[in-house]
Chain A
Amino acid sequence: MTATATAPRPRPRPRRQVHPRPAARPTASPRARLLVLLVGMSLAFAAVAVRLTDIQVVSAERYAVFGQSQRLVSVVLPAERGSILDRNGAELAISARAQTVWANPKLVRDPAGAARQLAPLLGIGEGDLRDRLSSDAGFVYLARKVDDRIAAEVKAMNLPGVAFLEEPRRHEPAGSLAAPVLGRVGLDDEGLSGLELLYEKELTGQLGELLVERDPTGADIAAGVRQLRPSQRGRQVTLTIDREMQYETERALGAQMAATNAKGGIAVVMDPRSGEILAMANLVAGTRTGSAPVPSADNMAVTRVYEPGSVNKVITMAAALEEGVITPTGRLNVPDTYKVADATFKDDETHEPGWWSVAEIMSHSSNVGTIMIGQQLGKARLDRYLREFGLGTPTALDFPGESGGILLDPDKWSGTSMGTMPIGQGLAVTALQMLGPYNTIANGGMSVSPTLVRSVSDASGKSQAPPEPERRRVVSPATAETVSRLLAGAVSEGTGTAARIDGYTVAGKTGTASKAREDGPGYAPGAYVASFVGFVPAEAPRLSAIVVLDEPTPYYGGLVAAPLFAELARYGVRHFGVPPKPPVGGPLAPALAPVTLGPAPTSKP
């Protein structure tokens, strides 16, 4: 069969000009090529294997650590500071969580606007805030440990780059109560003063740590590493302070300061048997005229020294009785004035020379009579007893900034020192030091070191009592009893009658001393320190107290300090349940019965 139609033949392409190809190079054989490829691949695999071995075997640990460091995040868990409690477990200082406002300036879009919004709320200058929010840092504090209300308001603003952090914050639930004693803590909860500083080691907790594995987005990896070392709260310090007694002491002291226009005031209440301090008040006048007294910056009862004046006469009397220089029944011819070296001393009230008993010298707070007794005692013995009673050295409290007072060595005494020292001039004491001799007398001649802390306990309740207070005999019980009677006489019919309280026998002594100048030697004209020290009940002392007023008006201790002592003692005996003296041999109430002066019952008449 023949084809009937034929397809049109394609046109022939125009022939291109063919250039002559260069001569082909001789090519390797396929076998050689394969061999080269094989060698190349082998080398590549070998390199990978070497690297793999290095990563997985040789340097495995290093890479594992490196990887972990990228994933593991350590979160420091803050530790709460231990609480400070009063003797009955009432909280005086506790730590609670507070919000800290911080910012990452890199994430803050409008620093000026944010600063404008935050400034009135945080109480920080707008310019200061703007500078912080515009800095190059990745973290800046805006306000630390703010109130919950402020934190809530800042949160509500929802400002970009502003975040919050929880930190423990110290609170004093009772306000400024015992503030100078408790002390202060810094912004990082570290003790700066007072008991907060003294017991810093015990109160500070141990920081905790949370080690957690997180993915690149910051989320916790569920099955990743999660190690928690919880923080440990600081130990709890229980004081000997009684919150109610402390409050009443501060209130009464403040009221008396306001009434007498005093510049400052100190009051300490103790249990003389145990040396426990029940209240320790330190106030200074407010900065504005007529404003209420405020707590002092430091614990003046142990940091400030002053010339004790007549309250120091108890040491002279006790030493003289103990050494047999005088007897309770002995009498001295006491003139109105008395010259020692180039100084003339006189009694506060002019009187005719006369034979005064020791009790009369004490109850009338005779400077001349006491100086005469001191001279009979002699320099060495007087100095020894001053030191034995605790003057010249800090107390066992070891309180931060505590002063040991000023007591010159006998070889540095001047000619008039034998006139000044017996009556409490020419030496300086702290209020707590001056309370010590009265506690010794109240304790039957046994000195008991003061203490502020009852126990230190950890979170499990395991408590550790501080070392027992040091007990040391200073004078015999007989001497102590005699001096106690002399002090009771000074209150019942001497200069301290304003310290009497119904139902109890009060023993104590007034003091009115010139105030030393702060800008040089000598005394400030018209400036006095008024004080009263004593204990109650005189027969079986349960409470002792010292009251010191700085530059009151009037300035006599018997007029301004003794009534305050009575107020504190009255509250104290009721608060601590001290029973009044039972009536003996008749219907007279104890305070109405005159205190018999003169010889002690154990002494011969």
Chain B
Amino acid sequence: MTAPWARPRPTPLEVPGPSGPLSGRPQRHLRVVRPVHPGVKARRRARLLTTVLATLACVGLFAIVGLRVVLAQGQAEADRLAVQVEQVQAEQQRLRLLVAERESPRVIVAAALDRLGMAPVGPTAHLQAVPAAGR
């Protein structure tokens, strides 16, 4: 077997710093900044927008679900109340009928004669008005 061979690494170039001496040229107050690509900001903005939109969508969806739940609850309550109204109306009708029956002359006369022992009124008596003496 042969021993492995490695290519020797190239020696990195010495890059003079901005403040390093450069062969006597006048020092320019420049510095190296990280290169900024023009699309980075837009990407950040898009990412932020996407996040916001996604959050909003989630919140919206939850809100819709919640709203539908509230609606369903409200509908159930409305149905319950409608049934209650129907029942109360039916009861009111029943009582109205009962009152009308109790008020009918047949029932009143029967109660007066049978339960209370009353008797039918006789003919109206008309008294003669006698003029006072001497007038």
Contacts and interface: CB of A to CB of B under 8 A. Distances in A.
Q: Is the interface of B mostly helix, strand, loop or mixed?
A: helix
B93 A591 contact: no
Contacts, number: 76
A173 B68 CA distance: 48
Contacts of A587: 128-131
A222 B90 CA distance: 26
B14 interface: no
Contacts of B104: 173-175, 177, 243, 247
A589 B126 contact: yes
B56 interface: no
Contacts of B100: 90-91, 94, 171, 173-174
A contact residues, range:
20 to 34
B96 A503 contact: no
Given A91-B100, A97-B90, A220 B105 contact: no
A223 B126 contact: no
A580 interface: yes
Contact of B68 (A175, A220, A222): A222
A244 B130 contact: no
Interface in B78-107: 79, 90, 93-94, 96-97, 100-101, 103-106
Contacts of A96: 90, 93-94, 96-97
Contacts of A174: 100-101, 104-106
Contacts of B96: 91, 94, 96
Interface residues of B, number: 28
Question: Interface of chain A, helix or strand or loop or mixed?
Answer: mixed
A583 interface: yes
Contacts of A175: 104, 106
Contact of B124 (A173, A243, A570): A570
Nearest to B72: A222
B103 A173 contact: yes
A175 B110 CA distance: 13
A94 B97 contact: yes
Interface of B: 68, 71-72, 74-76, 79, 90, 93-94, 96-97, 100-101, 103-106, 109, 123-131
11 contacts: A96-B96, A97-B93, A148-B94, A173-B104, A222-B74, A222-B76, A223-B75, A247-B105, A583-B129, A587-B129, A587-B131
Given A94-B100, A177-B104, A589-B128, 4 more contacts: A220-B75, A223-B71, A501-B123, A502-B123
